[in-house]
């Protein structure tokens, strides 16, 4: 399990597990519970690269980032 410390969003950290390039689990710690649970369910089972491509750059209101964008950043760091 990896932990990513977020920046600029309500969730404080994101815990995630990757196996063979596939997202196995994601848990947002803090933030909007329903959205975080829904997002986690949607990306589990997807290829890491596909999640990054779909979520990077997503904004939240006037914020230049969002929980989905932070997840993309976390996964991008992981695959480097």
pLDDT at 80: 83
State the pLDDT at residue 79. 87
Q: Is there a contact between 66 and 60 (Cβ–Cβ < 8 Å)?
A: yes
Q: What pLDDT score does 67 carry?
A: 96
Give the Cβ contact number of residue 7 at 10 Å: 9
Strand order in the sheet with 22-29: 2-5, 13-19, 22-29
Give the chain's residues under pLDDT 50.
Answer: none
Q: Please state the pTM of the whole predicted model.
A: 0.94
């Amino acid at each position: 399990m990896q932990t990513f410390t977020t920046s600029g969003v309500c969730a404080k950290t994101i815990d995630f597990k990757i196996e063979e390039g596939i997202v196995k689990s994601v848990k947002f710690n803090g933030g909007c519970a329903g959205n975080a649970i829904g997002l986690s369910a949607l990306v589990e089972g997807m290829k890491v690269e596909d999640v990054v491509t779909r979520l990077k750059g997503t904004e939240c209101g006037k914020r230049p980032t969002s929980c989905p964008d932070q997840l993309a950043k976390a996964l991008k760091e992981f695959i480097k």
